[in-house]
């Protein structure tokens, strides 16, 4: 089930000679205790697991992580679960139980990172908060993901990605000006928080190793993760009182860049806003007059005539199918693309050549197609060793590592601790 085995087989001999891969993964030897659920937090654990960390996912007995039941199901398990929880070990613990809390305290002695995304104060109530765990393991790094952060007037509020995207400014900019704001098609607030969390954990590990540092916690708020990618939103308001609004598919002040319809009623996105690309683009569509216009040589001039440019581009795209338009633009080296749906992506040869869609056995008869691993390391690339595990599949294995034998495991199970 290693999704990198085929990559070296498919590479040319020349590529193999310059890109030798090892069997080791960059995070081998790193132990991660994941206490969170759903996306924010667990997605960070997923990234760490893909690059070799031993990620022990703690789930409630009986029900497990709610993600197991989200979106499309294969038999009784979410396909999303198989993807996001690949390479993780699943153990069950009722964290409200004193015995379970003691097990967490035992496990944290050998942990490098703890990931959690409970509402602030929840772990403290269960005696497994930062102060308690860092006292046990002073080198511990704790990734804490929450809606609003660990302090501040909103810290006790519950927070989901939809709320973070709204309070952080993203929703206000998404959609068309004459319609209500809409959501991005994925839970981008959650995944951004996880990505920031992984970055923070790696920086904390570097500090610990190279600067004679001690452990620390990383405070990641969902709304701040969204707010952090909002480009010039705040500088523009602070300087000019300018409030950025929804603009649909266009990019005001950057021209030409937008989406246009083709003869076969498809959408094509064209980004020709650099000076040299603009000239090539205009000549490719038969508009040398615009390519050579002195006032269109740079973006500030083009921005003033953006409506005119959009009309010229739309007039051209309306005469061609999507395929034909893309062929013209590719020949002219103009960045462009159709707007892909899942079927388009699944059938795109580039995704397969780059191993961004990889099949894994799901049962004796069925396979699952998973997204490939990002980023791609030349020497120690990540890999999928196994799919998202069954609930509690690794409970006995993990508990035995801290001296709990099978007899005591059964006792814990009867008492509802696991």
Least confident of 11-20, 147-156, 355-364: 11-20
Residue pair 36/42 in contact by the 8 Å Cβ criterion: yes
Q: How confident is the model at residue 15 (pLDDT cuts 50, 70, 90)?
A: very low
CA distances from 175 to 28, 72, 246 (A): 43, 26, 6
Among residues 358, 347, 366, which one has the least CA distance to residue 3? 358
Give me the catalytic one of 190, 300, 310, 344. 190
Which pLDDT score, from 0 to 100, does residue 213 have? 80
Q: Mean per-residue pLDDT for 109-122?
A: 97
Q: Mean per-residue pLDDT for 269-280?
A: 96
Q: Is the pLDDT of residue 352 over 50?
A: yes
Query: Cα(104)–Cα(115) distance, rounded to whole angstroms?
Result: 12
What would the pLDDT profile of 361-376 be if each residue is shown by its tens digit?
999 999 999 999 999 9
Catalytic residue status for 190: yes
Please state whether the peptide bond connecting residue 354 to the residue before it is cis, i.e. omega within 30 degrees of 0: no
Which pLDDT score, from 0 to 100, does residue 407 have? 95
Q: Mean per-residue pLDDT for 339-345?
A: 96
Residue 83 backbone dihedrals phi, psi, to 5 degrees: -80, -55
Q: How confident is the model at residue 325 (pLDDT cuts 50, 70, 90)?
A: very high
Q: How confident is the model at residue 249 (pLDDT cuts 50, 70, 90)?
A: confident
| pTM exceeding the 0.75 threshold for the entire prediction | yes
Q: How confident is the model at residue 242 (pLDDT cuts 50, 70, 90)?
A: very high
So where are the chain's domains?
5-229+355-414, 257-346
Which pLDDT score, from 0 to 100, does residue 257 have? 93
Topology annotation, domain 5-229+355-414: Rossmann fold (3.40.50)
Q: Mean per-residue pLDDT for 56-71?
A: 97
CATH superfamily of 257-346: formyl-coa transferase, domain 3 (3.30.1540.10)
What would the pLDDT profile of 153-183 be if each residue is shown by its tens digit?
999 999 999 999 999 999 999 999 999 999 9
Helices (DSSP H) in 184-321: which residue ranges? Answer: 188-210, 222-227, 233-240, 275-284, 288-291, 299-304, 306-317
The whole-chain average pLDDT of the chain stands at: 93
Q: Mean per-residue pLDDT for 111-129?
A: 97
Residue pair 173/244 in contact by the 8 Å Cβ criterion: yes
Which of 115-133 are b and which e, b meaning 16 or more Cβ less than 10 Å from the residue's Cβ?
bbbbebeebeebebbbebb
């Amino acid at each position: 089930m290693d999704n990198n085995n085929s990559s070296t087989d498919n590479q040319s001999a020349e590529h193999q000679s310059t890109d030798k891969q090892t069997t080791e993964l960059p995070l081998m030897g790193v132990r991660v205790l994941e206490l969170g659920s759903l996306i924010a937090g667990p997605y960070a654990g997923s990234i760490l697991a893909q690059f070799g960390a031993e990620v022990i996912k703690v789930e409630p007995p009986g029900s497990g992580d709610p993600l197991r039941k989200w979106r499309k199901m294969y038999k009784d398990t979410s396909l999303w679960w198989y993807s996001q929880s690949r390479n993780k070990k699943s153990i069950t613990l009722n964290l409200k139980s004193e015995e379970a809390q003691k097990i967490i305290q035992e496990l944290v002695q050998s942990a490098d990172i703890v990931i959690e995304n409970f509402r602030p104060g929840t772990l403290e109530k269960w005696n497994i908060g930062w102060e308690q765990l860092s006292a046990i393991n002073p080198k511990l790094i704790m990734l804490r993901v929450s809606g609003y952060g660990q302090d501040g007037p909103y810290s006790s509020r519950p927070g989901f990605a939809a709320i973070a995207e709204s309070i952080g400014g993203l929703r206000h900019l998404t959609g068309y000006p004459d319609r209500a704001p809409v959501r991005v098609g994925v839970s981008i607030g959650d995944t951004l928080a996880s990505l920031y969390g992984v970055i923070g954990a790696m920086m904390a590990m570097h500090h610990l190793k190279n600067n004679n540092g001690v452990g620390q916690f990383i405070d990641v708020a969902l709304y701040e993760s969204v707010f952090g990618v909002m480009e010039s939103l705040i500088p523009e308001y602070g300087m000019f009182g300018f409030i950025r609004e929804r603009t649909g598919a266009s990019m005001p002040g950057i021209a030409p860049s937008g989406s246009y319809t083709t003869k076969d009623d498809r959408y094509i996105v064209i980004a020709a806003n650099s000076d040299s690309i603009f000239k090539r683009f205009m000549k490719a569509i038969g508009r040398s007059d615009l390519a050579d216009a002195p006032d269109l040589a740079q973006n500030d001039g083009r921005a003033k005539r953006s409506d005119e440019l959009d009309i010229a581009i739309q007039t051209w795209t309306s005469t061609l199918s999507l395929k034909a338009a893309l062929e013209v633009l590719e020949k002219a080296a103009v960045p462009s693309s159709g707007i892909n749906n899942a079927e388009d992506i699944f059938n795109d040869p580039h995704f397969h050549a780059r191993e961004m869609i990889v099949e894994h056995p799901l049962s004796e008869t069925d396979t699952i197609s998973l997204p490939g691993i990002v980023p791609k390391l030349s020497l120690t690339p990540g890999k999928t060793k196994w799919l998202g595990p069954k609930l509690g599949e690794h409970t006995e294995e993990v508990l035995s590592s801290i001296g709990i034998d099978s007899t005591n495991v059964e006792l814990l199970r009867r008492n509802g601790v696991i």
